[in-house]
Amino acid sequence: MDMQAAEPVSLSVRLRHWAGAGRHALAATARLVLDVALPTLCVSCREPVCGQGLCPACWSKLSFIAPPYCTRLGIPFVYDPGPGLLSMEAIAAPPAYSRARAAVRFDDTSRTMVHALKYHDRTDLAPPMGRWMARAGDELLRDADILVPVPLHWKRGWSRRYNQSAALAKIIAAQSGVPMLADALRRIRSTEQQVGLSRSERARNVQGAFAVPTDRRGQIHGRRVILIDDVLTSGATVESCARALLRARAAAVDVLVFARVVDAFKPPI
Ligand SMILES: [Zn+2]
């Protein structure tokens, strides 16, 4: 009886699967036709562009970060204080990671790019963003053994299934020759639970949010790692990731992001 009951179910499942595969093929064809027929639009102003995510006018609005900056945090200085000087932030609250670098300042234009990559399937933005990051992180990449993207929150990963940090890391790996280890970090705790916690409770909570899985520890031990993320705001996420990597005996951890928040041009001390 059970066998007889099971057969039609299995057949209908198979038929649905075939129908689904047909739909996917049709959708892929439709996308191809659209890609050929419609030019890519600038993510910022919606003007048609050739191959790149930003039109020349919006590209020129991006605020690229270049020296002089704090050698530790990559925060730009208004004037060149000479080599090796640190920002006030780096001295007041030294992070667990060694150095951070960012391609651009986080502003309206870079925010548009980050959001388009993250939420609107503009995967065509990853190559230029990744190349700019590789250039900004050139000094770090020369010392690095491995690239590790910040993992998605499992809830967000479930709904979106696209890790923008991994997409950027892939481009940087191809650009620099430094290999990426995509699953070296795992989010083991929801960081959303931080709402309502005190400052010290938050730090503790975020610190325990990431871990290196046991079967990846051997690939982290003794390695110089660069953490890859799209945006650096308060730095709590990369700090937490860096601590997890250092607990797994990484030799050093640097941070490379596409955009970072820069409050103002801070004078060096
Ligand atoms: Zn534009």
pLDDT in tens, 43-82: 888 888 876 788 888 889 999 999 999 999 999 988 887 8
- DSSP reduced 3-state for 52: coil
Among 32-46, 213-227, 242-256, where is mean pLDDT lowest? 32-46
Say which residues have a Cβ less than 8 Å from residue 260's Cβ, sequence separation at least 6.
Answer: 65, 74, 75, 100, 102, 105, 106, 231, 232, 233
Ligand 1 center from residue 53 Cα (angstroms):
8
Confidence category of residue 15, pLDDT binned at 50, 70, 90 = very low
8 Å CB contact between 209 and 243: no
Over residues 141-164, the pLDDT tens digits come to 999 999 999 988 655 555 556 789
Read off the pLDDT band of 5 (50, 70, 90). very low
Dist. CA 77 → ligand 1 center (Å): 28
Q: Of the ranges 99-113, 170-184, 202-216, which one carries the lowest mean pLDDT score?
A: 202-216
CA–centroid distance, 126 to ligand 1, in Å, is 17
* Contact predicate 227/242, CB 8 Å: yes
| Ligand 1 centroid, distance to 33 Cα (angstroms) | 24
255 Cα to the center of ligand 1, angstroms = 29
The token pair that represents 58 in the structure block:
């919006």
Exposure of 56 by Cβ count < 10 A (0-12 exposed, 13-18 middle, 19+ buried)? exposed
Give the number of C-alpha atoms closer than 13 A to the C-alpha of residue 38, restricted to the C-beta side.
11
Indicate the DSSP class of residue 73: T
Which residues lie at CB < 5 A from ion ligand 1?
A: 42, 44-45, 55, 58
Do residues 256 and 224 lie in contact, with contact meaning Cβ atoms separated by under 8 Å?
no
151: CA distance to ligand 1 center in Å? 30
Element spanning 149, H or E: strand 146-149
Cα-to-centroid distance, 140 and ligand 1 (Å): 31
pTM: 0.79
Based on C-alpha coordinates, what's the Rg of the chain? Answer: 22
- For residue 52, the CA-to-ligand 1 centroid distance in Å is 10
pLDDT of 211 reads: 93
**pLDDT for 234-268, tens place per residue?**
788 899 999 999 999 999 999 999 999 887 544 44
Per-residue model confidence (pLDDT) at position 89:
86
